[in-house]
Copies of this chain bind each other. A is one copy, B any other.
Amino acid sequence: MSAVAEQTMDNVSDQIREMGKRAKAAYQDLGQAETAAKNKALLTAAARLRDGRDVIKAANEKDMAFGRDKGLSEAMLDRLLLDDARIDAMAAGLEAIAELKDPIGDVMAEWERPNGLKIARVRVPLGVIGIIYESRPNVTADAGALCLKSGNAAILRGGSESIHSSGAIVDCLRAGLKEAGINEDAIQMIPTRDRAAVGALLSLSNYVDVVVPRGGRGLIERVQREARMPVFSHLDGICHVYLDKAADAQKALDIAVNAKMRRTGICGAMETLLVDQAVAADLLPPVMDALIEQGCEIRGDEVVQGLDGRVIPAVEDDWGTEYLEPILSIKTVGGVDDAIDHINRYGSHHTDSIVTEDDPTAEIFLARVDSAIVIRNASTQFADGGEFGMGAEIGISTGRMHARGPVGTEQLTSFKYVVRGTGQTRP
């Protein structure tokens, strides 16, 4: 694949269109493939990853050299690196996806009409999925495998820094498809660093049914702006925890600290803590002590500032900011209605949690907060397909259409109505 990876494209948009056509044709094959064939492809690909680790590491070394020349930060270089442990993890990921239930062919609902027509709603693949992502090469394996399992052809566009690594991984996936007798073009990688390829892919609405961008805000915004097909994405994860006046103090402490500090850089990390003003003086001091001790900066409103001299005044912009860092804004509110209004106004419809022992208050919050995931008495960091038991996810969507929340194999499907009759005509 590295030969392909270094090729230049004379006419990028023509070549991307050709990839689209081949993907659509391959989908006709993969979309009809038996579960056993798809699993064989996945397991073969996993074996190829393990057996071909030297090839993959050599390809990765080219990317690392390119990254060092380009002056990537140590953190970025670490994201790019593939070592034995990470190759094994990718292979294990493919094996786990082989274990998942095949969603295709599932009868979602079934009923009979008075005239004897039997109607079934049956899951089918979406078609062709474009995935555009940044540096981590393991996304190549995860995304390709999720599409394969759900019967969708994939066109992958990884970060330009990881082009050789991704190419070597795609070779393994395609070898698996071939071994299973499935059209290899069901997984294709765009073999150029040319940025025009992204624009060409996003305009390919005849061949690409949905695009999933994974990466920073710049990438997501570009995709949302330019795509001529539906997009599964989330721009921000401005997640809230609301400490109600009926909150249990220990749960409030545990959940607030975990939601912020377990990992600060993920989309499910809490960015704003809301607290009922009636209990702020009781609940907040231990929470703030623990957070500050762990290196978190606190920005608060006047009430919060009054509780702790280390609190920095929050400004309006803080309520709409996704820090992705050990920084937290804290606001006191008049109660659950206020909290809901704040979340629906400033949040990003991703994941929001209430800590309360009061059932009616919890139900109001769960019903009226307009987010993909609403939680009672647990950390926002559970916002993850794996934690939801979906096996794996290709991303999280904050859109309301089709897929909402973690996007796993089921969310990568559509359906059709299958009607079985005995000669019925419509009167």
Contact = CB atoms under 8 A, between A and B. Distances in A.
Interface of A: 28, 32, 111, 113, 117, 119, 124, 126-127, 209-210, 230, 248, 250-251, 254-255, 257-259, 262, 344, 362, 366-368, 370-379, 381-382, 387-389, 400-402, 404-405, 414-426
Nearest to A127: B400
Centre residue among A255, A404, A417 by max chain B CB count within 10 A: A417
Given A372-B416, A374-B418, A401-B414, 4 more contacts: A119-B389, A378-B420, A378-B425, A382-B426
A416 B371 contact: yes
A230 B111 CA distance: 29
Contacts of A259: 425
Nearest to A355: B423
A402 B417 CA distance: 14
Contact of A209 (B368, B401, B426): B401
A391 B7 CA distance: 56
12 contacts: A113-B387, A117-B382, A210-B401, A373-B416, A373-B417, A374-B416, A377-B424, A378-B419, A378-B423, A379-B426, A404-B414, A404-B415
Question: How many copies of this chain?
Answer: 2
Determine the main DSSP class of A at the interface with B: mixed
Contacts of A387: 113, 117, 426
Nearest to A259: B425
Contact of A248 (B366, B415, B423): B423
B401 A402 contact: yes
A400 B400 CA distance: 15
A198 B3 CA distance: 51
Given A126-B400, A404-B414, A405-B417, A258 B425 contact: yes
Contacts of A416: 370-374, 404-405
A332 B122 CA distance: 29
B254 A377 contact: no
Contacts of A415: 404
A221 B188 CA distance: 31
Contacts of A370: 28, 124, 416
B418 A366 contact: yes
A376 B421 contact: yes
Contacts of A381: 425-426
**Lowest 3 CB-CB distances: which A-B pairs, in order?**
A378-B421, A258-B425, A251-B423
Contacts of A126: 400-401
Given A32-B367, A117-B382, A230-B230, A372 B417 contact: yes
A355 to B, nearest CB: 8
B366 A421 contact: no
A407 to B, nearest CB: 12
Given A210-B401, A368-B32, A401-B402, A423 B254 contact: yes
